Each structure stands twice: as C-alpha cells, then as structure tokens.
Amino acid sequence: MSLIKKIKDYYKKNKTYLFTTPSHSQGNFIIPVLKEIIGKNYFKNDFSEIEGFDNLREPEGVIKKLLNDISKIYDTKATFMLTNGSTSGIVAAMLAVLKTDDKVIIARNCHISVYNGLVLSGARPVWFLPEFDNNWGIYKGITGADIKKQIAQNPDAKALIITSPTYEGTFSEIEDIAKLCKKKNITLIVDEAHGALLNFAHFKVRPAIQCGADISIQSLHKTAGAPNPCAVLHISKSSKISAESIQQALNLINTTSPSYPMMCAIEGTVKYLNSQKGKKHITKLFKIIDDFKKTLPDSVEIYSNNNDITKILLKIKGVNSLAVAELLNNKFNIEEEFSTDEALLFITGIGTDSKKLKALQKALKKISKMRIDKREDQSTLSYSLPQMIYTPAEAYKKNKITIDANNAEGKISAEAIVKYPPGIPVLLPGEVIDLNSMFSIEKSQITICE
C-alpha cells in the first residue's frame, strides 16, 4: 500500500488518541501564524512512527513497500528517500564508500556537501579542475579522457565523485567514465542533484545510474516539483555497494523523526513523474523552452553545448550580464538563479509555464534594445588548485586562530572560501593561502590552522 493512501485511510477509520510526538497532535492545535505559512494539512499528516506507519531507519512495512515501488520505477538495486536533500545523500554515499585516508578523486566544481563528506569520512581528496569555458564562465562537462588521466595518476583511488549535470546544466561522459572506474574497481558517485527529470524524459543523456554509475543522488525539489528539500539516492543494479551500507550511513546522519509529509511528497512526485500525465508535462516543458528560445532576438545568445534543456544559460552579445541581471531585477521583477559578467542562468522545471517564459522573453527583447554599457573587463575564473597540507578532516580538528587577511599568505586556511557564482571552493580548510588566487573576495580577517 502507498504511504499516501495509508495516511488517508487512517482518517477514514476511528481516530486513535495518540499520546505521541509531534505535539501539535495531528494539527489539534496549530500556532496561528504557522497555519498561514505551512497550512493545516501539513500538520494533520505530520505523524511519527505510530502503529502501522513503519520506520525510515529500519523499514519493514509501508515505507519498505514504498521504497521497493520507487526502486522499481527507477530500475535500481535500491533507492532511498532523503528528507534532508541531496546534501544528506552525498554525505551518506561518501560515508558508505570511504574510510579514513582512502583516496577519492573529486572534480573541484562539486557542491559543498562533498566537503562535509570529506570531514566526516576522513577521506583524502585528490582534486582536479574540469576544463573552464571562459566565454560562459562555467565548467565544461568531464570527459572520459579527463578521468583516464586522473585514474592513471591515482590507480589506488577508492572512489570518484563528479557532478553531472552541473548547476549550469553541462553533462559529463558518464558512460565512458563508468567503464574506466569499473576496470579499476573505483566506485563512481554522481551528484545528479540537478538531473531529477532525466529518468522521465528523452534528454541528450540517460540518467547516471543507467550509464554505469554506482550511486547517484537527485534533488526532487530543484527541477521535479517537490518541496524543499526532497531528494532520492539510487544504487545501480550492477553496483557492488550494498543497500545496508547506505542505510547505515543515512542512520548516522539523519533525524530519528523523519517528516511523513515529506515522504508523501517524494512518493507523490516520483509517481507523478512516472505517470503518462507527468511524462506529458515534461514534454510540454521542453516544448515551451524550445519555443522560448526560438523567439528571442538575435542579440541573445543561448548556451547549447551538451547541456540540460531545463537550464537556460544566456547572454546578450557584447553586454555585461551583471548589468542585464540588474535591469531584469529592478525594472522587470525577474530574478535569475545567478549571473556573472559572462552569462545569466535561469532554472526551469515542473512549475515553469509559458507565461513565466514569455515575461522573460519580453524583458530580454526590451533590454536588447536599450543602450547599456558594453562589456569593459571580463573577469574570468582562471584558477589553479591550492596546495593541500591537511585533509579536510584533519584541518577540522586543528586549533584555529583568526588573523588579519594581509598576514595570511602561506598560512594554512581553516575556513572554506567559496566564490559565488559559480560556487566553487577557492580555498578549503587544510589548504595553503595564496592571496593572489583569491580573486576579488574581500576579507579583512581569515581563520587559519595553528
């Protein structure tokens, strides 16, 4: 039986007096302002693990059945519901696969959760930088050739972690990469947080799990219509990674009070995407994005190099994109996901309709005709990897002091400095501070390892 149906049925039967958590008693009393913000139904369906409602840590009943149903939909060895986002899935995957001092190859354009996983697992990262596209200010997809080189230099690595599609929508060559990893017994973990629609429509590439990755993690809230921060973690059928090891790792970091409304949201989202209606919805989304692109003025250039159609990365030729973003925000009430000197990113998904895209199209048309200062200097992210003295886990445990940033040259950082956008850690704890490579990050003080 589905979890959603089980909860609905519960209210059809005689209601039991529950002397259990949570204390709002299925919405018997809701703090008035919360009723406005969250809504009555959320409270009504916010159960704990009462009789018959199973347990996410050791599922045996309705949750186990739901997990099996979801796993069948994705055709995986096992799929886990994550009620704490892809962040928790990435950390759990790393804890399941990596032990202290295990070597893990990681593309540096990873999400900060990978750093969290490094601190908790104690693994030793070997970073590499994917190729950078200066014209667009984004990292390109990772190729099989890139990984071949990394594996040749680190044949003893236990795992490889890459992000595909990236935040900006570029895909990596997962199939080729997976083959290389399999040959060397390296576990391939793909952060597919932005790729939750891949399983339900015809994209340029197939989902990582179908291309030979061991584990992939997808946020259902980013593109697939679920509320924050619903996500799923998949283990592929061909992987040697056991479902038990992932469950154990999740139990280490997760709350013991998982949200039933969120689990229902995961069930509802996955089943909707997998239905005829859901698939048609995605096809329609693709069509309105295509139509949007066709009707843009010639001066608008769209990034279309091996990327995810739901991510619209564009620029107005010759114009600084930050200036375009400012106009969109201030004059047209349109907020982009992010902008750099080079480009603007608009994220679309299940909730995007043609009205929203038309508003953007109209605004871009108007902006194209405006006189805006031409591009002056292009700040591109040319970047070299800092030297690592301590692993993130070692650095985390060091005594720390905060010093004047001007005196920090050559010291070992105890903090992460992340350049937004594109959200890449310029410096991580345990790495040597090189003030020249810290770009325009303005910091008067910096915390270092003693």
Ligand X SMILES: Cc1ncc(COP(=O)(O)O)c(C=O)c1O
State the residues that interact with ligand X by CB under 6 A: 85-87, 111, 113, 163, 167, 191, 193-194, 219, 229, 231
Structure tokens belonging to residue 298: 């010639």
In angstroms, give the least distance from the CB of 228 to ligand X: 7
Rounded Cα gap, residues 337 and 349, in angstroms: 13
On whether the CB atoms of residues 140 and 131 are closer than 8 A, the answer is yes
> Which residue, 27 or 85, has its beta carbon nearer to ligand X?
85
Q: Closest distance between ligand X and the C-beta of residue 36, in Å?
A: 25
The nearest distance, CB 40 to ligand X, in angstroms, is: 26
Nearer to ligand X, 30 or 418 (CB): 418
What gap in Å lies between CA 168 and CA 106, rounded to an integer? 18
* Cα–Cα distance for residue pair 95/118, rounded to 1 Å: 9
3-class DSSP string for the chain: CCHHHHHHHHHHCCCCCCCCCCCCCCCCCCCHHHHHHCCHHHHHCCCCCCCCCCCCCCCCCHHHHHHHHHHHHHCCCEEEEECCHHHHHHHHHHHHHCCCCCEEEEECCCCHHHHHHHHHHCCEEEEECCCEECCCCEECCCCHHHHHHHHHHCCCCCEEEEECCCCCCECCCHHHHHHHHHHCCCEEEEECCCCCCHHHCCCCCCCHHHCCCCEEEEECCCCCCCCCCCEEEEECCCCCCCHHHHHHHHHHHCCCCCCHHHHHHHHHHHHHHHCHHHHHHHHHHHHHHHHHHHCCCCCEEECCCCECCCEEEEEECCECHHHHHHHHHHHHCCCCCEECCCCEEEECCCCCCHHHHHHHHHHHHHHHHCCCCECCCCCCCCCCCCCECCCHHHHHHCCEEEEEHHHCCCCEECCCEEECCCCEEEECCCEECCHHHHCCCCCCEEEEEC
CB of 145 to ligand X, least distance (A): 23
Residue 159 beta carbon to ligand X: minimum distance, rounded to whole angstroms: 16
| Alpha-carbon gap, residue 197 to 185, rounded angstroms | 29
Query: What is the smallest separation between the CB atom of 422 and ligand X, expressed in angstroms?
Result: 10
Rounded least distance, CB 208 to ligand X, Å: 13
Nearer to ligand X, 6 or 234 (CB): 234
Q: Which of 108/111 has CB closer to ligand X?
A: 111
Tokens 């083959």 found at? 179
Whichever of 228 and 329 has its CB closer to ligand X, that residue is: 228
How far apart CA 1 and CA 360 sit, in angstroms, is 43
- For residue 409, the minimal CB distance to ligand X (Å) is 31
Minimal distance, residue 191 CB to ligand X, in Å: 5
Give the nearer residue to ligand X in terms of CB position, either 193 or 408: 193
- When the beta carbons of 92 and 193 are compared against ligand X, the nearer one is 193
CB of 45 to ligand X, least distance (A): 22
Q: What is the largest CA-CA distance in the chain?
A: 71
Which residue type is seen at 116?
Answer: N
User: End-to-end distance of the chain based on CA atoms, in angstroms?
Assistant: 56
Of 90 and 296, CB closest to ligand X: 90
In the complex, the smallest distance separating the C-beta of residue 90 from ligand X, rounded to whole angstroms, is 6
Nearest residue to ligand X, using CB? 85
Comparison of 59 and 227: residue with beta carbon closer to ligand X: 227
Nearer to ligand X, 219 or 236 (CB): 219
- From the CB of 341, what's the least distance to ligand X, in Å? 21
Q: Please name which of 110, 295, 285 lies closest in space to residue 203, comparing C-alpha atoms.
A: 285
Q: Which is nearer to ligand X, 27 or 117 (CB)?
A: 117
Nearer Cβ to ligand X (17/420): 420
